[in-house]
Structure 1
């Protein structure tokens, strides 16, 4: 089990219960990155060993051949590997290792915090595949939440447009049989980093060791608490209201609900196509990410594309751009002062806007000819 919370900046905080540590992430980023994972191969393997299909010893051997690194690692740590006489449950339990501990593939999934902070990895270690079968259906979770995001935030169907996001969530859950929000938060206050909690737990154990268990009270720990610990506890900015999460599904639900009930919006970037949460006062349809292989953000790339489209579709703007480049080049050559260029640019913009409005209404070629003559374009 791990804990999940939102801090005052709306960043997601994940805390592992058993270790002194955790991580933070901007709200939405963990959810969106999970939805971006390519889980098609994982889905095929999950379907192969699911209880909806027959799974025999030959299927298990095929997995060993398909994922040789995983089989080698499993042989080192597992005793009594399956044989032809092994029953179906045993075969599936060993096959679960190829889902949750695969050394040949699925590294993106394993590195995702929702996976590493959940109890999903216990499947391969404890061989209780029947119990965690539904908890590791990650492809289904992914498809479910893609549909959920679209239904509640992106889809502009006229009927949905009449509903707010919370009402859309109710409708989605009511009409999706397999969808249930089973996330039951057990709220508690925990500090971040987690070390303060561990420190106090240690002192409580020390106090308890000196007393009869039946007589122990929380007040008994006070003599052991230093002023510095009290100062840390009094710093409410460090105390988080957290909920407990066991599965990937729990984390997905927590983050989706956090976005929904904080009144945030989700959009799909017009440039890269990825989901994002708009920030700032201005409406935008592009995210601030810098796509792989690019120098600029999606927002800037799209602005450049739209400017180019406008120039190419509007002959008035095209003539202005041509003159602008010519005049700007004269600054570099020393034949035009910068102050004179700025004055020319301001006047030319006004004439461009006026000419562009007139031309868009009538498409009169005389307007274009007169504007070219003003700019001294050939």
Structure 2
């Protein structure tokens, strides 16, 4: 109702429709079969359709679209029928159809450096959240410090190619514990103090 109140011309819009007898495939008009007929005479077309479908003729409906405005109106009404929503991408500014109930503000179009708007947007939101949340900034800092220490210690150990050294095992154990603590903190399951304690374990 809000849309039609702003765009009252849509309330008076109409499209030309019709029905026709045609061969069908999987419930839709079989245009490939129609094109292969190459028959201009209507009687010959009906006879050919009869051969394709001996059980009887199929009646299909169609819509005549003669302009870009009519095409856009048709697409708009189809979206309404299917209950689909349209949203403006926060990255590229173009509109996209929400394909699921999952809330998203970014489309799947490829943007910078081969990344999708969704990937770019999710990273931007994560960095923004980091800047506003000191414990998460600490997590990033401590994680990088532990990783750098693991690389230094691993270089000293020089383990065999097919074996995992003590340094990497220790880092993997700490990282799994830290990631679980981060997940619980973001979900509101533990406090900032508890989160910090778990990060500094090991």
Contact 2:18 2:61 in 1 (8 A): no
- Structure 2 residue 34 is the aligned partner of structure 1 residue 194: no
- The separation in 2 between residues aligned to 1:288 and 1:375, in whole angstroms, is 40
Q: Which portions of structure 1, spanning 4 or more consecutive aligned residues, are displaced by more than 6 angstroms?
A: none
Extract unaligned runs of 5+ from structure 1.
Answer: 1-166, 209-217, 360-366
Extract unaligned runs of 5+ from structure 2.
Answer: 158-165
- The separation in 2 between residues aligned to 1:323 and 1:305, in whole angstroms, is 21
Deviation readout 1:293-325 (Å, 9 max, x if unpaired): 332111111111121122222221111111212
Contact 1:331 1:338 in 2 (8 A): yes
Deviation readout 1:324-369 (Å, 9 max, x if unpaired): 123234555526554433321232245555598644xxxxxxx59x
What's the counterpart of residue 88 of structure 2? 268
- Give the alignment partner of residue 294 of structure 1, picking from 85, 110, 113: 113
Q: Aligned pair in 2 of structure 1 residues 168, 197: CA closer, same or farther (>3 Å)? A: farther
Q: Which has the higher contact order (CA 8 A, sep 6+)?
A: 1
Q: CA deviation at 1:244?
A: 1.1
TM-score computed with the length of structure 2 as normaliser: 0.67
Contact 2:87 2:97 in 1 (8 A): yes
The correspondence of residues 279-290 of structure 1 with structure 2, limited to 5 A, is 279-290=99-110
Q: Aligned pair in 2 of structure 1 residues 183, 303: CA closer, same or farther (>3 Å)? A: same
- Give the alignment partner of residue 343 of structure 1, picking from 159, 169, 173: 173
- Structure 2 residue 155 is the aligned partner of structure 1 residue 325: no
- The separation in 1 between residues aligned to 2:32 and 2:198, in whole angstroms, is 72
SS in 2 for 1:294: helix
- Give the alignment partner of residue 308 of structure 1, picking from 127, 146, 152: 127
TM-score computed with the length of structure 1 as normaliser: 0.39
- Give the alignment partner of residue 68 of structure 2, picking from 220, 245, 248: 248
Deviation readout 1:93-138 (Å, 9 max, x if unpaired): xxxxxxxxxxxxxxxxxxxxxxxxxxxxxxxxxxxxxxxxxxxxxx
What's the counterpart of residue 259 of structure 1? 79
- Number of residue pairs the alignment of both structures matches: 181
Contact 2:4 2:11 in 1 (8 A): no
Task: Please tell me the root mean square deviation across aligned C-alpha atoms, in Å.
Answer: 4.0
